[in-house]
Amino acid sequence: MDAATLDGARVLVTGASRGYGAAIARALATEGAYLLLTATDASRLGAVAEECRGLGAAEVQCLALDLGDAASVDALTAEVAGLVPRLEGVVLNASIVGARGPIAEISPTEMEAAIAVNVTHQLRLIHGIEPLIARGAGVVVVTSGAAAKPGRGAYGVTKGMMDVVADVLREEWADREVRVVRVNPGPLRTDMRAAVYPNEDPATVPPPAERVPPVIAVLKGADPGPRIQASEWGLS
């Protein structure tokens, strides 16, 4: 592995079949990374994988992952361990929006479903891959401006929970020089945002690729602190 370019670096990216995850995968491919890409939509993931191969990825593995299913998480971690001896990078991008509105008005069943995908099974995934995470690796947890904000429903609650997880992991893994960084990409031109804001003109928000550079920087070795606002990256 060449740390300066990520050439040969083994990087796991969840939610890589579309949006921000796909943009991150493409950028890593141009750096020559060995990609382990996950998604529930195998067809779309396969299309992204083909793009990444054409962009120069060292290798691309398409792996099924349904974060709503504990067995799927366990199967993924076993598969990753069978493919690579270690991971130099991890990007936890996959999540669901879940029920929207004031949290007291969200049914327990709806909230539990969002917590399972966005928190509980993320922790299950972290537990499974932790032995593979190399010393000095970069771990990016994709967060949101909605995290812990009123009126943002299950998404805001669960993203706030994962912010805490990321900050705790950053401290707990510091002795291994593992950089755990929360990256908030801000509003992006994605299918998820279109579903939440159907009346928004997509041209008024940036494409995902514009907000990828800080993720690549962290995976290359930068440690800008526990949280990055991607919209501010590179500004003096």
Per-residue pLDDT of the chain (236 residues; tens, 9 = 90+): 445 779 999 999 999 999 999 999 999 999 999 999 999 999 999 999 999 999 999 999 999 999 999 999 999 999 999 999 999 999 999 999 999 999 999 999 999 999 999 999 999 999 999 999 999 999 999 999 888 889 899 999 999 999 999 999 999 999 999 999 999 997 776 667 666 667 767 777 778 899 999 999 999 999 999 999 998 987 64
Alpha-carbon gap, residue 91 to 38, rounded angstroms: 11
Judge residue 175's burial from the number of C-beta atoms within 10 Å of its C-beta, 0-12 exposed, 13-18 middle, 19 or more buried.
Answer: exposed
Task: Quote the CA–CA distance of 81 and 84 in Å, as a whole number.
Answer: 6
Contact call for residues 97 and 140 (beta carbons, < 8 A): no
Can you give the pLDDT at residue 202? Answer: 72
Asked if 11 and 33 count as a contact pair (C-beta separation under 8 A), the reply is: yes
- Judge contact between 66 and 125, C-beta under 8 A: no
So what's the pLDDT on residue 51? 97
Give the Cα separation of 76 and 78 in Å (integer): 5
pLDDT at 194: 65
Strand pairing category for 59-64 and 34-39: parallel
Query: Residue 135 burial (CB < 10 Å; 0-12/13-18/19+)?
Result: exposed
From 123, 138, 170, 135, select the one nearest 12 (Cα to Cα): 138
Reduced to 3 states (helix: H, G, I; strand: E, B; else coil), residue 64 is strand
In this structure, are residues 10 and 36 in contact, taking their beta carbons and an 8 Å threshold? yes
CATH number for the region 10-231 comes to: 3.40.50.720
- Domain borders along the chain are 10-231
pLDDT at position 208 is: 87
Q: Is 222 helix (H, G, I), strand (E, B) or coil?
A: coil
Output the pLDDT for position 93.
97
pLDDT, position 197: 65
